[in-house]
C-alpha cells in the first residue's frame, strides 16, 4: 500500500535530476506536463514530502520506479519531520515579529495630493485587484495595420484604442503560477501597490501563510551605506523588526524556501548601482531558488533580463475595475457619489480614457471629491494629469542616468511632445514607428540647441529621450516591437491642440472640420485660447462654404429659412432651423436603413404602458431642448441667454408639435410598427393640428387606415401602404409645407450630414466655453444654417 506522502532519498533525487534534464529540462515544464503548479514539483526535488499519488506520477513522467526513488529509512523521515516542525515554528515566530513593520510600510498608500494615507486592504481598503498580461505588449511582433485592425481611422472606440487582445489573469494568480516573477508596467500602473497588497495578504494570513514576506525598495537597498549584499540587507531588515540572530535565521529561512521576497522599483536604481544590484538579485534568486521572488520595474526602463524569471505586464484598468475603485474610494463619504462619478465618466470619453491608469484615476477621484464634478475646462484637467506624470511623479523617483533628458525644462518637454503629437495626428498616425518619432525628436533638438550639431549624436540622444519619455513618464508607449503611440488618445489630442494654439495655426485646424477624429482637438483648441473669436469666425466661414456650390442643397436651406419664418414659435430662429434640418436628416437615415429596429419602433404603444402620457412629456422635453439651442451633445456650462434676452417659456408649441408628429409618421418604417402604433401616432397628429382643414384630412386618412387593414395588416403593407404614405405626404406639403422629397443623391446626403455636424460642433464650442465675445457669438448664432443668399443679404 502506498503511503499518504512520500519523499525522495538522497540517491533517488540525483537520479530524478538527471532524468529531468534529459526529458524536460526545467521543473516548470515537468509541472506543466503534470498539470500542477511548480510548488509540489519543487518540493519533490528539495526532498520534501509530497502527496504519494503525485510522487508516483512524477516518477512515472521521469521514467523512474517510484519505489527506487523514495526515502525508506525511518530515522531520516523522523528527522525530516522534526526539522519541518522546527522551521514552521520559526516562520510563525518571525511572521509575528515583522507584522507591524509590514503593516506600517505596506498597509496604506498615499500619492499625489492626498491629505492623508488611505488603507490598502480590509473593510476600508482601496485596493482594486490588478490584471496581468502574460505577454509584454511592447514585444509583440505586430505591424501598424494589425494594431489598427479593429479601429476605423475616423470613428474608433476611444476607450479601447490601447486595449490589447492578450489574455488577462488576476495578479494573485500570476504570482501563484510562477515562483519568480518580473512585473513590468507603465508609470502609475499600480506596480508598487500590487507588491504592497501581496505583502499584506501574506502577513494577514490570506496567502502563503507558511512564508515570511519581505518588502524591499531596491533604490533604498542600493544606496544603503557600506553597500551590504542582499542577504545582509535582509538580515538588517529583520534585526530592525526585533529578530535575534537575524543573519542565522535569515539564512535558514532562505535555505528552507520560506521567504516571499518583494523587490520594488528596479528601474529606480541609479546607473552606478545597477550592475551590483542586478548581480545581487541573480545570485540570491539562483542560490535560494525555492523562495518566491517578485520584482517590479517600469516598462522600457532598461533591458533587465533574469533567465529564471517569468516576465509579465500590469494591464490597464478596464471599466469594471474603474467602477470598483470608485466605489471603494467614495464609500467612506457617500456611495451615491461613486455613481455620479461613474456617470460623469461615461459622459466624457476623453476623461474616461485617463481612468484606465490607476494613478490618473486617483487624480480624477481627488478632483471629483473636491468639486463634485469634473472641471468644465477639460484641458485644465488634462494639464494637471500631465504635470503629475512629467514633474511631480518624476520628482519622487528621478533617475540620474538619463543625462540628455534630465535637463529639459517642463516647457521643453511639453513642446517636444506637442511637436510629435501634431505631426503624427495630422497623418492619422495613432501608432508610429520608432525611427519616425526619433526623427521628430532629432529635429526638435536641432532647433533647440544648434542647427549644426552632429546628426549621429542627435540620433543617439533621440533614442535616449524616447526611452526616457516611456520609462519616466509613460506618455509614449511601445505597443509592439519598435511601434509607439501616446499612452492615451486624450494626451495625443491635447498636445496636438497645444501645438496649434502655440503656432496660431487656425487655418490648419479648419481644414479638418468635417473629420470626426479632429472634433476633440478643435474643442480643446477653442478652450485653450484666450479669445476664440477669430477661430470660430474661420470655422463659420468654412461651414458656410460646405454647401455653397450645390444648388439643390442651397434650395433646401432656403426652404428651411422660409419654413422657420412661417411658424408661430417663441424659440430662436436658429434653433427652429436646426429642428427642421435635423428632421430631414432623420428622414434620410430612415430611408437609408441607418437606424435600428428599436428606434424605428420607438412609438410602439406596447413598449410603454403610459404611452399616452409619456409621449406628450417626451415631445415637450424635445421642444424645450430646442429653446436652449443645443442641438448637439454637449455638457455646456454656457447659458445661451447670457448675451441675449431670455424668452418666455411656453408649455407647448403647436406649430412644431404637429410638424414633428407628421415627420415622424413619414419617417416611420412601417415594417417595424403594427396598426395600433401607427394609428396612435396619427391620433396624436390630429390632436395637435389646430388647422381645421388639416385636421379633417388627417381624420379621413385615419378612417382609410382603419378600414383598409381590417382583414390583414401584412396585406395592407404590401398593397396599400405606399399609396397611403403618398397621400399623407401631399397633405403635409399642402398644409404644412413639409414632407418634400428632395431627391438628394448619396454625395449630397453626405455633404448635408457633414454640414449639420459641423454646425453642431460650432454650437457646442460656443455653448461650452466663455472665451467668445457676445458680439461674435450673436453674429454667428444669427447666421447659422442660412443659405448663401441670405448670408449676403445679411451682410
| pLDDT confidence of residue 591 | 59
When mean pLDDT is compared across 143-147, 228-232, 371-375, the lowest value belongs to 143-147
Q: What is the mean pLDDT of residues 203-225?
A: 93
Q: Where are the domains of the chain?
A: 5-72, 97-106+129-314, 319-390, 396-528, 545-783
**Residues 6 or more apart in contact with residue 465 via CB below 8 angstroms:** 404, 405, 416, 441, 445
User: How is residue 740 written as a grid cell?
Assistant: 418634400
Q: What is the mean pLDDT of residues 65-92?
A: 70
Helix H or strand E segment including 587: helix 573-591
Nearest to residue 423, comparing CAs of 499, 528, 483, 494?
499
DSSP for 354-400, written as a single string? HTTSHHHHHHHHHHHHHHSS--SSHHHHHHHHHHIIIIIHHHHS--T
For 617-671, how does the pLDDT look when each residue is reduced to its tens digit (9 = 90+)?
655 565 555 555 444 444 443 343 344 333 333 445 678 888 888 888 887 766 6
* Pairing state between β 131-133 and 180-185: unpaired
Q: Reduced to 3 states, what is the DSSP secondary structure of residue 264?
A: strand
| pLDDT confidence of residue 618 | 56
Is pTM beyond 0.75? Reply is: no
When mean pLDDT is compared across 65-79, 94-108, 154-168, 654-668, the lowest value belongs to 154-168
* Pairing state between β 476-480 and 483-486: antiparallel
For 293-347, how does the pLDDT look when each residue is reduced to its tens digit (9 = 90+)?
999 998 866 666 788 899 999 999 999 999 999 999 998 777 789 999 999 998 8
- Burial class from Cβ neighbours inside 10 Å (0-12, 13-18, 19+) for residue 106 reads buried
Over 70: is that where the pLDDT of 603 sits?
A: no
Q: In the predicted model, what is the mean pLDDT of the chain?
A: 81
Q: What is the mean pLDDT of residues 531-543?
A: 93
| pLDDT confidence of residue 547 | 95
**Residues 6 or more apart in contact with residue 538 via CB below 8 angstroms:** 506, 507, 510
When mean pLDDT is compared across 408-412, 701-705, 790-794, the lowest value belongs to 790-794
Write the Ramachandran bin of 429: left for phi over 0, alpha for psi from -120 to 50, otherwise beta: beta
CA angle 675, 678, 682 (to 5 degrees): 135
Nearest to residue 777, comparing CAs of 533, 573, 545?
533
Nearest to residue 263, comparing CAs of 238, 304, 229, 296?
296
User: How is residue 214 written as a grid cell?
Assistant: 519581505
| pLDDT confidence of residue 302 | 60
Nearest to residue 146, comparing CAs of 493, 487, 481?
481
Q: What is the mean pLDDT of residues 494-498?
A: 94
**CA gap 351, 429 in Å, rounded:** 21
Q: What is the mean pLDDT of residues 187-192?
A: 90
**CA gap 639, 651 in Å, rounded:** 20
Place of cell 385636421: 695
CA 581 distance to own-chain centroid? 35
| pLDDT confidence of residue 657 | 82
Nearest to residue 471, comparing CAs of 267, 324, 639, 648?
267
| pLDDT confidence of residue 73 | 47
81: confidence class by pLDDT, cuts 50, 70, 90 = low
Q: Do 97-106+129-314 and 5-72 fall under one CATH topology? A: no
Over 70: is that where the pLDDT of 599 sits?
A: no
Over 80: is that where the pLDDT of 518 sits?
A: yes
Q: What is the mean pLDDT of residues 346-363?
A: 88
- Burial class from Cβ neighbours inside 10 Å (0-12, 13-18, 19+) for residue 707 reads exposed
478 phi/psi in degrees, rounded to 5: -80, 110
213 HSE (CA, 13 A, CB side): 27
| pLDDT confidence of residue 5 | 81
When mean pLDDT is compared across 117-131, 520-534, 570-584, the lowest value belongs to 570-584
| pLDDT confidence of residue 590 | 61
**CA gap 554, 792 in Å, rounded:** 13
Q: Reduced to 3 states, what is the DSSP secondary structure of residue 314?
A: strand
DSSP for 643-684, written as a single string? SSPPPPP-S--HHHHHHHHHHHHHH--GGGS-HHHHHHHHHH
**Residues 6 or more apart in contact with residue 23 via CB below 8 angstroms:** 30, 61, 62, 63
For 32-62, how does the pLDDT look when each residue is reduced to its tens digit (9 = 90+)?
889 888 888 988 988 888 888 889 899 999 9
Q: Are 8 and 71 in contact (CB under 8 A)?
A: yes
The CATH number, out of the four listed (3.40.50.1100, 3.30.1780.10, 1.10.260.40, 3.40.50.9100), of the domain defined by the range 5-72: 1.10.260.40
* Comparison of pLDDT for 250 and 3, the residue scoring more: 250
| pLDDT confidence of residue 160 | 43
396: confidence class by pLDDT, cuts 50, 70, 90 = very low
* Pairing state between β 212-217 and 259-264: parallel
Q: Which residues pair with 485 in a beta bridge?
A: 477
Helix H or strand E segment including 262: strand 259-264
- Work out the widest C-alpha separation in the chain, in whole angstroms: 112
CATH 3.10.50.40 fits 97-106+129-314, yes or no: no
Q: Which of 82-96, 124-138, 300-314 has the highest mean pLDDT?
A: 124-138
Q: What is the mean pLDDT of residues 716-723?
A: 84
* Comparison of pLDDT for 461 and 590, the residue scoring more: 461
- Kindly give the interhelix angle for 519-528 and 746-768, rounded to the nearest 10 degrees: 30
| pLDDT confidence of residue 457 | 55
For 728-760, how does the pLDDT look when each residue is reduced to its tens digit (9 = 90+)?
999 999 999 998 989 999 999 999 999 998 998
Amino acid at each position: 500500500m502506498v503511503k499518504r506522502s512520500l519523499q525522495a532519498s538522497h540517491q533517488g533525487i540525483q537520479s530524478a535530476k538527471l532524468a529531468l534534464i534529459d526529458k524536460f529540462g526545467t521543473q516548470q515544464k515537468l509541472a506543466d506536463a503534470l498539470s500542477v503548479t511548480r510548488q509540489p514539483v519543487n518540493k519533490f526535488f528539495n526532498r520534501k514530502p509530497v502527496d504519494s499519488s503525485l510522487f508516483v506520477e512524477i516518477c512515472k513522467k521521469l521514467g523512474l520506479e517510484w519505489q527506487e526513488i523514495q526515502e525508506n529509512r525511518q530515522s531520516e523521515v523522523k528527522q525530516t519531520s522534526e526539522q519541518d516542525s522546527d522551521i514552521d515554528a520559526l516562520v510563525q515566530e518571525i511572521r509575528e515579529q515583522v507584522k507591524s513593520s509590514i503593516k506600517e510600510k505596506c498597509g496604506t498608500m498615499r500619492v499625489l495630493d492626498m491629505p492623508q494615507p488611505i488603507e490598502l486592504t480590509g473593510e476600508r481598503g482601496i485596493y482594486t485587484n490588478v490584471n496581468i498580461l502574460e505577454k509584454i505588449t511592447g514585444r509583440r511582433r505586430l505591424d501598424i495595420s494589425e494594431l489598427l485592425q479593429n479601429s476605423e481611422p475616423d470613428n474608433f472606440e476611444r476607450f479601447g484604442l490601447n486595449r490589447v487582445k492578450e489574455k488577462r489573469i488576476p495578479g494573485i494568480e500570476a504570482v501563484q503560477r510562477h515562483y519568480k516573477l518580473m512585473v513590468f508596467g507603465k508609470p502609475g500602473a499600480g506596480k508598487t501597490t500590487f507588491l504592497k497588497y501581496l505583502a499584506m495578504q501574506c502577513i494577514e494570513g490570506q496567502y502563503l501563510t507558511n512564508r515570511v514576506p519581505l518588502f524591499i525598495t531596491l533604490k533604498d537597498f542600493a544606496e544603503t551605506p557600506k553597500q551590504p549584499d542582499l542577504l545582509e540587507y535582509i538580515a538588517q531588515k529583520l534585526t530592525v523588526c526585533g529578530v535575534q540572530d537575524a543573519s542565522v535565521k535569515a539564512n535558514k529561512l532562505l535555505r528552507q524556501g520560506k521567504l516571499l521576497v518583494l523587490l520594488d522599483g528596479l528601474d529606480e536604481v541609479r546607473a552606478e548601482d545597477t550592475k551590483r544590484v542586478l548581480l545581487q538579485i541573480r545570485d540570491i534568486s539562483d542560490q535560494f531558488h525555492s523562495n518566491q521572488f517578485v520584482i517590479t520595474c517600469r516598462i522600457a526602463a532598461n533591458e533587465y533580463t533574469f533567465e529564471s524569471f517569468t516576465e509579465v505586464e500590469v494591464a490597464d484598468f478596464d471599466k469594471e475595475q474603474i467602477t470598483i475603485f470608485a466605489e471603494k474610494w467614495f464609500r467612506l463619504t457617500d456611495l451615491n457619489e461613486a455613481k455620479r462619478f461613474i456617470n460623469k465618466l461615461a459622459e466624457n470619453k476623453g476623461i474616461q480614457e485617463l481612468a484606465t491608469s490607476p494613478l490618473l484615476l486617483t487624480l480624477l477621484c481627488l478632483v471629483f471629491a473636491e468639486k463634485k464634478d469634473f472641471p468644465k475646462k477639460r484641458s485644465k484637467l488634462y494639464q494637471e494629469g500631465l504635470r503629475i506624470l512629467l514633474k511631480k511623479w518624476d520628482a519622487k523617483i528621478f533617475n540620474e542616468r538619463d543625462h540628455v533628458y534630465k535637463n529639459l525644462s517642463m516647457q521643453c518637454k511639453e513642446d517636444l511632445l506637442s511637436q510629435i503629437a501634431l505631426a503624427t495626428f495630422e497623418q492619422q498616425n495613432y501608432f508610429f514607428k520608432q525611427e519616425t518619432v526619433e526623427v521628430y525628436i532629432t529635429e526638435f533638438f536641432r532647433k533647440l540647441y544648434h542647427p549644426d550639431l552632429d546628426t549621429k549624436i542627435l540620433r543617439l540622444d533621440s533614442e535616449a529621450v524616447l526611452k526616457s519619455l516611456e520609462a519616466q513618464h509613460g506618455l509614449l508607449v511601445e505597443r509592439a516591437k519598435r511601434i509607439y503611440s501616446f499612452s492615451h488618445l486624450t494626451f495625443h489630442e491635447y498636445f496636438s491642440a497645444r501645438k496649434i494654439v502655440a503656432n496660431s495655426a487656425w487655418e490648419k485646424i479648419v481644414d479638418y472640420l468635417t473629420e470626426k477624429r479632429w472634433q476633440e482637438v478643435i474643442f480643446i483648441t477653442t478652450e485653450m485660447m484666450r479669445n476664440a473669436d477669430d477661430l470660430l469666425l474661420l470655422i463659420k466661414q468654412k461651414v458656410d462654404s460646405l454647401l455653397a456650390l450645390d444648388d439643390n442643397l442651397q434650395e433646401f436651406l432656403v426652404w428651411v429659412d422660409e419654413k422657420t419664418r412661417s411658424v408661430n414659435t417663441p424659440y430662436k430662429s436658429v434653433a427652429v432651423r436646426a429642428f427642421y434640418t435635423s428632421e430631414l436628416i432623420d428622414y434620410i437615415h430612415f430611408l437609408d436603413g441607418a437606424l435600428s429596429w428599436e428606434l424605428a419602433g420607438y412609438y410602439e404603444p406596447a413598449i410603454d404602458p403610459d404611452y399616452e402620457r409619456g409621449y406628450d412629456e417626451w415631445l415637450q422635453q424635445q421642444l424645450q431642448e430646442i429653446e436652449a439651442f443645443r442641438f448637439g451633445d454637449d455638457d455646456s456650462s454656457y447659458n445661451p441667454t447670457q448675451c441675449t434676452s431670455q424668452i418666455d417659456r411656453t408649455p407647448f408649441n403647436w406649430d412644431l408639435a404637429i410638424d414633428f408628429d407628421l415627420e415622424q409618421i413619414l419617417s416611420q418604417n412601417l415594417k417595424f410598427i403594427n396598426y395600433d402604433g401607427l394609428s396612435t401616432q396619427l391620433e396624436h397628429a390630429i390632436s395637435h393640428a389646430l388647422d381645421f382643414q388639416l385636421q379633417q384630412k388627417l381624420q379621413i386618412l385615419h378612417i382609410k387606415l382603419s378600414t383598409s387593414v381590417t382583414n390583414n395588416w401584412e396585406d395592407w403593407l404590401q398593397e396599400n401602404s405606399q399609396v397611403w404614405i403618398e397621400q399623407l405626404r401631399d397633405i403635409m406639403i399642402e398644409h404644412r409645407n413639409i414632407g418634400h422629397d428632395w431627391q438628394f443623391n448619396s454625395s449630397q446626403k453626405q455633404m448635408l450630414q457633414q454640414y449639420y455636424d459641423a454646425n453642431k460642433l460650432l454650437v457646442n464650442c460656443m455653448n461650452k466655453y466663455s472665451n467668445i465675445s457676445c458680439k461674435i457669438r450673436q453674429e454667428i448664432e444669427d447666421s447659422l444654417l442660412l443659405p448663401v443668399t441670405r448670408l449676403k443679404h445679411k451682410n
